[in-house]
Amino acid sequence: MSPVTAHAARTPTATDVRAAAERIAPYARRTPVLRAEVDGRPLTLKLEHLQRTGAFKLRGALNALLGGEPVQRVITASGGNHGLGVATAARLLGIGATVYVPETVPQAKAAALAATGAEIVRVGEGYAEASQAAGARAEHEGVRYLHAFDDPLIVAGQGTIGLEIAADAPECDTVAVAVGGGGLVAGVLLGAGGRRVVGAEPQGCASLHAALAAGHPVTGPVDSAAASALGAPALGRVPFEVLRGRPVESALVDDGEITRAQDRLWEEFKIATEPAAAVPFAAWLAGRVPGENPCLVVCGANAGWHHDG
């Protein structure tokens, strides 16, 4: 098996999410929930943008490194939050990390990654080329490659958000999250204790919507203001295996709705988010999130970064 598929062979479960929560507790923040009322309707926000590194990706990275075979070094590819999450988790655990990024990565991103002590390798014009090069090196050197979302340990780690919502906001009947490659929505579905889960997506990059319609992951267009964050061309296979037999819903929003939701988050809560993190709020404002008391995950606030899933 290649370093990628070796860790993508099993479908994670709710038990895996509970195990992940115990593993990552010493390192990840238990982010707060905020109960509020907007336009006369109650809602709860899960303030995951207050996580270390500014986004949820640290959870999956920590769980993958703590729950997998012990390693001295790990390789990944990213243009954003996944790379920072892996590099930060590796630093916290005393593990070496190599992060492949595109040649076009902004200097601010490269500097933040380099500050973790990770080795940074620039390859290609985009994420796909960097990912291919990183995977090839990992296979050649026999080093673990950490995929951004198509890995059961990554999915279980992201699911700890759902577990925290179930414990800290038990009155919430629905959880809405943004979807890129599906790692977050699949994990939250496993962790949310049977609550209704909605995957909110931009119309221009709707990997979950497309996969549910086709019955399997399909490659689709990537065209949205939130595409840098949610621009996975297809849902991951591990997330799809979690989602396929469970009632998860897709809610689509357009770019105008996303931008207005960003503005409202700032006006109402003084939360400055990247477009991706405003997608669940956009879906809720548009009346596309069911439930009497929904919880919306504000997944990241790194405006120049992207989630990879």
Residue ranges and CATH numbers for the domains of the chain are 6-56+152-297 (3.40.50.1100), 59-145 (3.40.50.1100)
The span from the CA of 167 to the CA of 192, in Å, is 9
Q: What is the pLDDT of residues 231-252, one digit of tens each?
A: 566 788 999 999 988 878 899 9
Average pLDDT, stretch 37-49?
Answer: 95
Per-residue pLDDT averaged across 126-144, rounded? 90
Q: What is the mean pLDDT of residues 276-296?
A: 94
Query: What's the rounded Cα separation, in Å, for the pair 38 and 102?
Result: 40
The 10 Å CB-count burial string (b at 16+, else e) for 6-45 is ebbeebbebebbbbbbebbeebbeebebeeeebeeeebbb
The answer to whether residues 238 and 185 touch, using CB atoms and an 8 Å cutoff, is: no
Global pTM? 0.90
Strand partners, 251: 200
Range with the lowest mean pLDDT among 136-145, 225-234, 267-276? 225-234
Q: What is the DSSP secondary structure assignment for residue 56, as one 8-state letter? A: T
pLDDT of residue 32: 96
pLDDT surpasses 90 at 38 = yes
